[in-house]
A = this chain, B = another copy of it.
């Protein structure tokens, strides 16, 4: 990829931008046709393909004054890549729709693509195609394709009475970082960075599937909100117990400074893309997951430390 990107999108045009983003692309195993034709063509080794799409809009999902284009690219890719992991799969390829104003610096768009590729490379996925159009603000759609490696998908609907609930990856960090940024602060840096781009535990998705996870979801809306999605899809009640939680140091510090309970960030903060899974017994929970609750029979819903929690707190569009 070239970084020789003086000028704006208007200066270099749609095809100029595509040429800069795709220049230097090497042949990639599994990619039979890459960018530049009517469609890409990628291998689907087990005869099925997992597919998911996320749409990110400037001002709503990211701000150019808060995040670098690399960060935004990583964040945009992570949202879809984590969805594939949450099915127990491994993402293979991405296609990206990119809309932006004509006065956007071309270098910004090239860096965004670099961020998307960096994040994809964490799981071995590659950018295989896309679309570039003019738009009043930056809009990014990321579609990820994934391979389940012959396994059954791990659905939201498989949690059963008696299962344990476990989580892998950090959660609440992005929400805490957003709270800090919203108040004009830029530290603790580790929390602010967590909002700028997540670090989903991608590799834990297939491991959970292999270990026999009965259900799985990635936490994009918030722990309670996404646990509720599992509870409703499975027709069960999920009990979360925070009494054993070790609150990460930066969360403790920030929460003390703002006089809030850091558990609320961890229960309601979204966009970290931790993986929440259920397993039939504690013994099969794989390394990397921590048990935080259990599945019981009852009205679909989520309780925390014995208290029923309403849906509020999860991110909702149009709310």
Q: Which residues of A contact B (CB under 8 A)?
A: 9-10, 12-15, 17, 32-33, 36-45, 47-57, 59-61, 83-84, 86-87, 89, 93, 95-99, 102, 128-137, 139, 141, 143-146, 148, 153, 155-157, 216-218, 233, 316-319
Contact = CB atoms under 8 A, between A and B. Distances in A.
Contact of A39 (B38, B93, B146): B146
Given A48-B43, A60-B135, A217-B38, A143 B53 contact: yes
User: What is the count of identical protomers in the complex?
Assistant: 2
A136 B137 contact: yes
Contacts of A97: 53-55, 97, 141, 143
A318 B51 contact: no
12 contacts: A14-B319, A37-B156, A38-B87, A38-B218, A41-B48, A41-B49, A49-B145, A51-B95, A53-B130, A59-B136, A99-B139, A136-B136
A319 to B, nearest CB: 6
Contact of A128 (B51, B134, B317): B51
Given A32-B153, A53-B131, A318 B42 contact: no
A317 B10 CA distance: 8
Contact of A14 (B89, B98, B145, B317): B317
Name the residue in A9, A83, A216 with the highest tally of chain B Cβ atoms < 10 Å from its Cβ.
A83
Contacts of A10: 318
A95 B49 CA distance: 13
A17, A32, A157 — most chain B CB neighbours (10 Å): A32
B146 A135 contact: no
Contacts of A218: 38
Contacts of A317: 13-14, 132-134
Contacts of A319: 13-14
B55 A44 contact: no
Contacts of A38: 52, 83-84, 86-87, 156, 216-218
